[in-house]
Structure 1
Amino acid sequence: MQSSFIENLHEIDERPHRFSRIFDADIYDSKEDLSRLFESDSDPEQQNKTLSVGTNNNVIVNKGKDINIYTLNSNINGTKTNSLLYRGCISTPNDVQKILPHDNSILIIDKINPQAVSAIDLQTGKISQKWDLNLDVKDCFSGTKNIGNETKYDPTIIGLNSNTIFKLDTRMKDSVVDKNTYKTDTKFKTGMATKTGDMAICSENGELRLYSFSQGIPKRAKNLLKGHNDKLVGMDITGNKKYAICTYKTYILFYQVQSAYTQTLRKEDKDRVPKKLCLKPEHVPYINEEISFTTAKFSTDENEEFIVASTGHFVISWNLCDVLSDNLYNYSIKKCNDKVVADEFGFNCSDKIVVALKDDVKMVDKNKLKNVDNVVKKRCEESSVHSSYVYDNEQ
């Protein structure tokens, strides 16, 4: 009997490996030895690039040509816990451009051949199916979004390139079952589907197109919300069709779009200014590094009530109730020990955040994120006490 690709689970903190380095500086003779230990980390190609969380609790992290598999586990040996477990690594011949969890497989697009989508079986680590599309693919996403207890995968995949939307049915040998190509270059960048199959697709300049579900690819968007001419980082939508967020380098735009998938909006509704999520100016000195947001994500619990993003070493979370009440600066924050590459909530979970650092993957308890005003106030008080102590001792 052929052994499974994934055999034994190990708690990530108990198993030192190249993705979670554990060392004691005392065992190294010099700083040069320590620098040599991390010499490979300076190579951007050997650092974590992307993060994806599947409905079956698989966590997929792309690192160059390696695809690393982890599992979120809530029960070990009968003990309730929230552990991140390392399962194994799949090596690919080329650097990966896109990874999409899909049932017990992952779908990948590599940078060398962006005209094909390959399915890799997570049990064998081998390609189980491949679709040659005869068109470049920038992004792909599931035909429906799972939230709450919905864990069944949609067999249809929606793909994008600069001016084409197409549908792939993974049950069929034929590659593209339907497509729509725009005559003008719409510069599509990324997209997402709701739980009922409506679609939101964003262009590089932030133009947001909302499409009503149909059996084929819609020929035109139900609504087009203008972009802000800044370079888009990424986007996300809620499965319940109520909200969308578009991430830019220094801010995140929050849209209320509940009826925009199925009804043509009035001009004044299309022109309505979205809410802007950004860091409070007084908090920027506390961050003390360039602001550069990763793609913001909604939680996928039943209520989809939280948003998470990151900048530099910091994980940041907003409560949807605060955003809707215009308390846009009422966010929580946590500093990590390395730069955050990507983060998102565990599936059907609003209290655990999976964080991919440059060379590590961690689970962060959202309840341990702190209110920034309180953190800044505490630091100011500590600084004031220190300054007073120095002044008194100089007298």
Structure 2
Amino acid sequence: MNIVRKFMDSGNKYDIISIPSGTFNLLRSKRSPKSSLECIYNASSLSIRENGQYSYDLVVRKVNDDHESNIDDDNEDFSDDSTSVLSLQSKKKKEDEWIFTFDESLQFKKVWNKVGNVTFIWNNYNGDEPDEKVQFVIAPDIPLNDVDEFLQLLYRCHYETKYNRSALKASKTDIQDIELLVNTVEQDEDSSDDEFQDANETMNLRSFKSVLHPPPQHVPKGEQLCLLSAGLYLFDPLEEKFLLQEDPVKVSLTETGKYEFWLAMEGTQLRMGTEVSPNINPTFEAVRLGFIFNYDFQGITLSYMIKFKDINKFMKFQRNWSRCLWMFLNKENWDKLNEKEKQYILDPAALLDKQLEEILTLDDNSASRTESGNSQSEEESDEDDEDEEEHSRMIVSSSSFDDSSIPSTIRSEGNRSLTVAFRNNRSYVVRGDKIGVFKTEDDDNGLEFVAAIKNISGLNGERLDPQNPMLYMEDRSMILSDNTNKNKLYKMDLERGKVIEEWSTGDKNVVQYGPTKKFDQMTAEQTLLGVSQKNIFKIDPRLSEKNKIVQDQSKEYATKYNFSSLGTTENGYIAVGSEKGDLKLYDRLGIRAKTAIPSLGQPIRYITVSADGKWLLATCESSLLLMDLTVKTGKNSGNVGFLKSFPSAENVKTYILKISPEHASYMVTSMKRSIKFTKAYFNTGVGQKEEMILTSNGPFAISWSLSKILANEQNPYTVKRYNSDIIEDNFEFGTDKKVIVALKDDVSLSKIKSFKHPSKSVLIPKENINDFYGK
């Protein structure tokens, strides 16, 4: 890799990274009278050049070669239609470089050609024809690590040009979404680009039995931590089952750098690998002694299963994987943990070990369960038409409270959040600087738009960007925040539709806030709780001081814990989560936590707690954590972790809820972005038991059954797909039968019975199935 930085005068442009060797070609449509492929430079380099703040150019330069000849035989991916008609682009051959301003219109893609060379393709917007493209075929002697280095920088340049801000502010998910976009090939119906056709042929999902695997990958150098033998299977999304690819293969885990690890699979026919990361959606399935994970290739998300020969190998791999993943996520050494923390992190492995015999007995009944499941699917299929008709009557467009006087940029933002009332049948949807009010009808299960609160502003008339709405004081008021004033909260009178109070929190920026007790919004209670990065505090608007924090009912830590979320029970017990992923449980404010739950690696984004404090539900990026907070052993047995700590020999039992890699492959491929859950909720009602969990991912609403989770059912969730992304969804108060869903531009009311067991037909609409499979 040739990395060049020329620190001369500020007026000079410089290359920040380059690939020194490759072939540069012009691609045209089959309908063109000119050659479908025209070689521009047989020897060339490709560079990214800075062109101002957050602006970059792609520069292809001719490399002088006295022996320059026609395209290499190995790179003849496109047929040359005899003699090319002389074009503007042909004349440009005489120039030494081609320059392309880097932006989204380039539609830059990475593919593999027929002979396995990495190839970059992008639009030629200065071409003779509107659908012209160019391609840079990287020379085979360029190491793949150098190509990856180039791409990683390109992803960051893509981010900066798209958002006009530094990539240092980009989250890992932001970069992953761009990476997925660059690696996704979208075939035009009349495209002549054989390179795209080859990508689809390579990943032709109609023939998984003869699927061509990704190009062989070398295992990065490092210390090998684990080496086992297993069978490798690939999930066929058409037949909806795993098909054997090779048996045996060598499966290894290798430490390749500081807190970096690599999973490798090597057989006689294939060699592949991936980094140890939650992004591959790793899942252990004890019934099949299998480890299932996702693998992205050419814009398609595949699901592989490593199936081990016996229990011991399965458990050994599980423990090694858990250690590696924890170190990758936390950037800390495993040896720094105490034994109880290690036991908690490895607890799923220990649980599998203890219950494996019991789980395996379920295999004998799998046939009957499958038959029952098929029968149920047929019944669901019969209800589809009825459900869709009913569903269509329950959608209300958010345009009903749009205002033509509001700038289109604000209107185009779409809906932002959903808040469900407890005392009445109202729901509130934030959209720009206004809030739409909707109501549900018990008689006909309908949903109706009631009113819109527009032009929300502060006491001084400044426009607010309302965030994190929380209903308050018998659902007659709403608490709001604004990103520009993070140490201030706003109280809105819903009947008047105006902000009537502003509360300062002094020098503490409020990260998240919530009711002092779970059902306080149904009462006249005026206090509420909040967290900053290292504080947990109570807010009382009745205080005469400008700062409304109750100082003697607050807890401040010397260390910045990066608190991120909180939740409360009916009795006012408090749970607080952090960006590191750990949780603290309190019976009241101002004292030390009764229970500290160590991190499993992913940041805690939201928390909701059951009314009785027995269950805690934490929302992470790509998983939910369902925690049983009841102490099972010792003198504190029967108490919840808010009141008594767990004995040293017992850990909080945690269920990790994820979309199975098989189902994730459908979702990620169709959405073209990673899984990211919205805030998860229990069904909620005074005196009602929590039975269901609800969240969403992209256009998919997802519901888990607690009873199925506790029964260790394989996929204890159901799914409903909508026509646009879900912003937030929640149960109607007092029931687990009806779900209110805020889509980007609509609001919907659905029955939970319209959710289906996940399958190809549920996850991918029939009209999109051909696009999904690249047909």
Q: 1:330 to 1:300 in 2, by over 3 A?
A: same
Could you tell me how far 1:13 is from its partner in structure 2? 6.6
Is 2:517 the partner of 1:144?
A: yes
SS in 2 for 1:342: strand
Q: Which among 54, 69, 74 is matched to residue 421 of structure 2?
A: 54
Task: Please tell me whether the aligned partners of residues 516 and 529 of structure 2 are also in contact (alpha carbons under 8 angstroms).
Answer: yes
Do the aligned partners of residues 83 and 45 (structure 1) sit closer, same or farther apart at CA in structure 2, a change above 3 Å counting? closer
Partner of 1:356: 742
Does structure 2 conserve the Cα–Cα contact (< 8 Å) formed by 1:146 and 1:300?
A: no
Structure 2 residues without counterparts, runs of 5 or longer: 1-392, 457-462, 631-639, 770-775
Aligned residue in 1 for 2:491: 119
Measure the CA separation in 1 of the matches of 2:654 and 2:397.
Answer: 45
The aligned counterpart of 2:187 is none
SS at match of 1:338: coil
Contact 1:354 1:364 in 2 (8 A): yes
Q: For residues 204 and 152 of structure 1, what CA distance do their matches in structure 2 show?
A: 32
Give the counterpart of 1:263 among 625, 632, 644. 644
The 1:63/1:20 distance shift into structure 2, 3 A limit, reads closer
Q: Structure 2 CA distance, aligned partners of 1:336 and 1:244?
A: 28
Q: What is the CA deviation profile of residues 256-311 of structure 1, one whole-angstrom value per residue up to 9, with x for unaligned ones?
A: 013100001123433x5511111122222332333211121111031111100111
Alpha-carbon separation, structure 2, partners of 1:371 and 1:14: 23
Answer yes or no: is the 8 Å Cα contact 1:207–1:227 preserved in 2. Answer: yes
Alpha-carbon displacement from aligned partner over 1:224-249 (angstroms, at most 9, x marks no partner): 10112223332211111111111222
> Is residue 299 of structure 2 the alignment partner of residue 299 of structure 1?
no
Pairing 1:64–2:439 present: no
Higher relative strand content? 1
Q: Which residue of 2 aligns with 1:155?
A: 526
Cα deviation per residue 1:295-329 (whole Å; 9 max; x = unaligned)?
A: 21111031111100111110000111111222251
1:30 counterpart residue number: none
Q: Do structure 1's residue 309 and structure 2's residue 682 form an aligned pair? A: no
Aligned in 2, Cα 1:202/1:14: closer, same or farther, shift over 3 Å?
closer
Q: 2:328 maps to what in 1?
A: none
Q: Within 2, Cα distance between the matches of 1:379 and 1:52? A: 29
Distance 1:211 1:15 in 2: 41
CA distance in 2, matches of 1:233, 1:48: 20
Relative to the length of structure 1, the TM-score reads 0.79
Show CA shifts across 1:203-240 (max 9, x none): 11221111013xxx232111110112223332211111
Confirm or deny: 8 A CA contact 1:277 1:329 kept in the other structure: no
Residues 124-158 of structure 1 show CA distances to partners (whole Å, capped at 9, x for unaligned) of 111222222212111110011129xx933532200
CA contact 1:254–1:277 (8 Å) conserved in 2: yes
Could you say which residue in structure 2 is the equivalent of 1:241? 613
The one-letter code sitting in structure 2 at the alignment partner of 1:158 is: L
Over the aligned positions, Cα root-mean-square deviation in angstroms equals 3.1
Matched, 1:85 2:465: no
Gaps of 5+ in 1: 1-11, 22-38, 384-395
Alpha-carbon spacing, 1:65–1:187, altered in 2? closer, same or farther (3 Å): same
Query: 1:208: which partner in 2?
Result: 583
Kept in 1, the 8 Å contact 2:529–2:537? The answer is: yes
Contact 1:72 1:85 in 2 (8 A): no
1:194 and 1:211 map into 2 onto residues whose CA distance is 11
Deviations 1:1-44 (A, max 9, x none): xxxxxxxxxxx9797661589xxxxxxxxxxxxxxxxx958x79
For 2:656 and 2:722, the matched residues in 1 are separated by 25
Cα gap change, 1:372 to 1:53, in 2 (>3 Å): same
SS at match of 1:239: coil
Look up the equivalent residue of 2:609 and give its one-letter code. Answer: I
Is residue 94 from structure 1 mapped to residue 464 from structure 2 by the alignment? Answer: yes
- Distance of aligned partners of 1:299 and 1:45 in 2 relative to their CA distance in 1, 3 Å threshold: same
Which string of whole-angstrom CA distances, capped at 9 and with x for unpartnered residues, describes residues 47-79 of structure 1?
Answer: 2222221212332222232222222332xxxx4
Q: Percent identity?
A: 25
Give the number of the structure with larger relative contact order, counting CA–CA contacts within 8 Å between residues 6 or more apart.
1
Query: Residues of 2 paired with 1:114 and 1:377: CA distance?
Result: 39
1:318 and 2:704 equivalent? yes
Aligned to 1:35: none
Structure 2 residue 549 is the aligned partner of structure 1 residue 176: yes
Q: How many residues align?
A: 345
Q: Verify the 8 A CA contact 2:398 2:745 in the aligned structure 1.
A: no
Secondary structure of the equivalent of 1:327? Answer: coil
Judge conservation of contact 2:527–2:538 (CA < 8 Å) in 1. Answer: yes
CA distance in 2, matches of 1:377, 1:192: 32
TM-score by length of 2: 0.42
Alpha carbons 2:570, 2:611 under 8 Å: kept: yes
State how far apart, in whole Å, the 2-side matches of 1:376 and 1:277 are: 20
**1:196 counterpart SS class:** coil
Superimposed CA distance per residue, residues 59-114 of structure 1 (whole angstroms, 9 cap, x where no aligned partner): 2222232222222332xxxx453424332223221212321111201011111112
Give the structure with the larger helix fraction: 2
Q: 2:659 aligns with which of 279, 292, 295?
A: 279
Structure 1 stretches of at least 4 aligned residues deviating more than 3 Å after TM superposition: 12-17, 79-82, 170-174, 373-380
After TM superposition, the structure 1 stretch with the greater mean CA deviation from structure 2, 257-266 or 92-101, is 92-101
